[in-house]
Amino acid sequence: MSKAKGISGNKSFFFAVRTARCPRCREGAMFQHPFHRFLKFSTMYKNCPVCNLRYEVEPGFFIGSMYISYAMNIAILFSSSFLIYHIFNDPEIWVYLCIIPPVILILLPFMFRYSRVLYIYWFGGITYENTGNGHVENNINHS
């Protein structure tokens, strides 16, 4: 099986979240392109390439992931501010304004993806189904 479509081997929860895999089979990729492809980082598969799970559980489901993304942005803002304050010994405000926005823009693909991955894992109501061969027996398509 190609790397873009699915994986075999490690199916732990943390590995599946870290590699953005399907919450039901933990093999199929959720995103079509790697996050470093800046113009295509947000393109998701509609269904899991391995078990055919529909990722958008209901219309507008991923709108809720913006709250997770907001929390990530706040964490980056505070940690960057803390580091700038201590490394540059409390610089003027323009230093903060020159460093923090580019850091947030550089991390945007990461935050976008992982806010969606965490949201579907925490609030999607989808449970992991291990059949041993990597395929889910019941091909229920949430439509």
Q: Where are the domains of the chain?
A: 13-123
> According to the model, what pLDDT value does residue 137 have?
46
For 34-80, the pLDDT digits (tens) are: 877 777 788 888 999 999 989 988 888 899 999 999 999 999 999 99
Mean pLDDT of the chain: 83
Work out the number of other CB atoms within 10 angstroms of the CB of residue 31. Answer: 22
Q: Provide the b/e sequence for 51-73 (b: ≥16 CB within 10 Å).
A: bbbbbbbeeebbeebeebbeebb
Backbone φ and ψ of 29, nearest 5°: -70, 145
- pTM beyond 0.85, yes or no: no
Residues 6+ apart with CB under 8 A from 70: none
Asked if residues 37 and 31 have their Cβ atoms less than 8 Å apart, the reply is: no
- Would the pLDDT of 9 be above 60? no
